[in-house]
Amino acid sequence: MAFVARSQIPPRGLNWSSEGKWVHLAKIGFEKYLLHKIRRGTSEPFYEKLALYALGIRKLRFKQGACPMTLDSAVFRFAGVMVLASLALAHWVHPGWLWLTAFAGLNMLQAGFSGFCPVAAVFKRLGVRPGASFK
């Protein structure tokens, strides 16, 4: 079954649903198309922009330099999330998740001595601005 709703913020303007073999094939086609776009890293073509405009969907514009996150803050945030997530998983799922906390701590320790952090290398490849610690 497929369900499409326009404008999830009330008042909802349009709701549509359908089921059948063609819906299943349309879902598969859309997923293949989306994965193709992700793998190629292409931006949206003009017909997607036109379709979004026709549906009344406006996109947010990203301003260059508006993101204050540097490589340092991204690494520290990632480490904090990993430690907190592993503690939560150890509490509610299994105590073995504490090994993730130990791994994150050892990685921060070696990064302090060597100056190399694997997470910083990944974030750098993703285009995060360099900071004072990791360049």
Strand partners, 16: 4
The mean per-residue pLDDT over the stretch 101-126 comes to 89
Confidence of residue 91 (pLDDT cuts 50, 70, 90): very high
Rounded to two decimals, what is the model's pTM? 0.50
Query: In whole angstroms, what is the distance from residue 24 CA to residue 127 CA?
Result: 37
What pLDDT score was predicted for residue 15? Answer: 59
Higher pLDDT, residue 135 or 72: 72
